[in-house]
Structures are given as structure tokens and as C-alpha cells.
Amino acid sequence: MNRNGRRTVRKGKARGLDLNDPKQAQELLENLPVATLVAGINNSLDILQKRGISVSDWDQKKRELYRLKVFGTKVYYLAAELDKIEK
């Protein structure tokens, strides 16, 4: 494959792009903008929350990851401390 072909594959515009191939999928993700990656993580968090699965802080189990936000070039996480009724 020549340089132009490799460039096309990296940008995800190649017809032969196979997202079932872990290497190609990883390369595609590595080239995405930070805001796009954060949006994908937030979508995954929404799906987990709809299924009743929470993502907890490792050290403070009462804190639950709520959302990620991008401000400028930095990524911040929003977490809430929830009072859950244990059964």
C-alpha cells in the first residue's frame, strides 16, 4: 500500500475499512477528536444507566460517574454522591 492509501485508511475513508478488525477500529479511534471520544463515552454511560448499571468511584463507592465534559483542551468528569437505599 502506498502512502496515499495508508493516509486514506487512517482517516477512515477507505472502502476496505473493516471496523470488525480490532487494529483498524483502534486506529480509527486514535485519530478521533477528543470531543468525539468523550461523546462516545457519554453515550455508553447513558446506555449503562438505562440498564441500571452505575459506574462507581474506586475509592469512594457512594460516588457515581455521571458525565464527562470538555472545556477547552481538558476533560472533566462529573460525579454525584448518591444516597442509595441498600436492601
Give the residue-averaged pLDDT of 59-65: 90
81 neighbors 63 (Cβ within 8 angstroms): yes
CA distances from 41 to 6, 27, 35, 55 (A): 27, 17, 10, 12
65 neighbors 56 (Cβ within 8 angstroms): yes
Q: Which residue has the higher pLDDT, 87 or 76?
A: 76
**pLDDT tens-digit series, residues 5-51:** 677 767 765 566 787 889 988 998 999 999 999 999 999 999 999 99
Domain ranges of the chain: 1-31, 33-87
- Single-letter amino acid, residue 75: V
pLDDT for 87: 47
Question: What gap in Å lies between CA 45 and CA 42, rounded to an integer?
Answer: 5
